Structure 1
């Protein structure tokens, strides 16, 4: 099992560092470009949610990313110490209504669940929030 870690401040300009971190490690794990793009989009959504909602755009919060992978699966865990939320209260989006209303944003959880094989959220309010995104290797 390989483990890699990255800690960045909660600033949108750090999203490119996060994308590079995920991309290089997913590539090392043997994923295709399409699979890597899906993972990057899911992680991007998760980190953007941390910046917007957990830290309310405060640029000084820490976003801690840990990647663990072996021959079977690749898991990205994103942790923050911001405001907690309950992902179970996020309804499944009505995509047709969403499209008709030309809405922007708000599809983060849906995208993460669609693009990844497994999404787990763990929170201890006042202490930390953690989302784990797992993609299984097709060859496994």
Structure 2
């Protein structure tokens, strides 16, 4: 296992109907490489948030669009990429939410990027041609 690269892919429609399938796909790979339940839970949360953001923001709730998920690992890290062809996200326009203010105002939503960055070790947004990619890394 050490040193070998394993890559698995999944392509789904951009719909919350596929949320469980996407979560389970990622969790299965994380389990296969022996990650703890806590780490798997964090990874599922990050993927859940990233996938939901693609549905809502990149595709504006157009379920006929596709999201490609790629997960891979080697001896040092696990990485997950979600790719779409929707509107791109510019991370330079993102500012971290004021948590206390959001709690006081009982605001829901708007926490996805914050949560992803909290639970993953690295998060990158790339745009290649018409394709967006969010790449999330968990060090092993």
Q: Compute the TM-score of the two structures, normalised by the length of structure 1.
A: 0.94
Q: Give the aligned length.
A: 136
CA deviations 1:67-87 (Å, max 9, x no partner) are 110121000000000011202
Structure 1 segment 8-87 matched on structure 2, within 5 A: 8-87=12-91
Secondary structure at the aligned position of 1:46 is classed as helix
Contact persistence 1:84–1:124 (CA under 8 A): no
Match of 2:7 in 1: 3
Deviating runs (4+, > 4 A) in structure 1?
A: none
1:132 lines up with 2:115 in the alignment:
no
Match of 1:104 in 2: 108
Alignment counterpart, residue 120 of structure 2, candidates 116, 119, 136 = 116
Kindly state the Cα deviation for residue 124 of structure 1 after the two structures are TM-superposed. Answer: 4.0
Contact persistence 2:89–2:125 (CA under 8 A): no
CA deviations 1:12-66 (Å, max 9, x no partner) are 0101000000110001111100100000000000000000010100011110000
Kindly state the Cα deviation for residue 93 of structure 1 after the two structures are TM-superposed. Answer: 1.0
Structure 1 residue runs of 5 or longer lacking an equivalent are none
Q: Distance between the aligned counterparts of 1:30 and 1:10, measured in 2?
A: 29
Secondary structure at the aligned position of 2:126 is classed as strand
Kindly state the Cα deviation for residue 90 of structure 1 after the two structures are TM-superposed. Answer: 1.1
Structure 2 residue runs of 5 or longer lacking an equivalent are none
Contact persistence 1:29–1:70 (CA under 8 A): no
Q: Give the alignment's Cα RMSD to 1 decimal.
A: 0.9
